[in-house]
Amino acid sequence: MLRVLFGISDTQECRSGVDAAIRLFSKIKEVHFTLVHVSPEVLIYPESGIMNYSQTEVAENEQSKNLVDEFIELFAQQGISCETVLKMGSPVDIILEMAPSFDLLVIGASESSMFYRLFGSHQNSFIDNSPIPVLVAK
């Protein structure tokens, strides 16, 4: 059985990656997808003003759950069921820690702006450090 770890994020490129993954793997009977979304830890600095940490954390968790539900539905429309994992922390560290239990890591291509590719993307970290093959889908 092919075990695929699909790192999801709230980007159009990642959503497009679902289409690519479905085209590649939908005909394979023995494939298992695990969708993982890693939310960055919520950092609150007291000097920045008054903020309710628990409300911020609840809102972040709700956004993450909605995102995972959206991706589950995209796969379900093609008859593919997925396991899901929600974690909090560094996306690169957590996904790379999970990777050895899988055969393939699928990530969406970096957003198209040059600034984002240079400063806001984890794509190169996954490619350079993954212990398993990485499919960059767009």
Exposed, middle or buried, 3 (CB in 10 Å: 0-12/13-18/19+)?
Answer: middle
pLDDT in tens, 40-91: 876 665 555 555 556 667 777 889 999 999 999 999 998 898 999 999 999 9
Task: Give the residue extent of every domain in the chain.
Answer: 2-137
Q: What is the pLDDT of residue 40?
A: 80
Domain 2-137 CATH (choose: 3.40.50.720, 3.30.565.10, 3.40.228.10, 3.40.50.620): 3.40.50.620
Complete edge-to-edge strand list for the sheet that includes strand 134-137: 82-88, 31-39, 2-7, 104-108, 134-137
Give the C-alpha separation, 136 to 24, whole Å: 12
CB 75 within 8 A of CB 31: no
> Residue 9 phi/psi, 5° resolution?
-145, 170
**Which pTM was predicted?**
0.83
Q: What is the pLDDT of residue 47?
A: 59
Strands 104-108 and 82-88, sheet pairing: unpaired
Give the C-alpha separation, 16 to 137, whole Å: 7
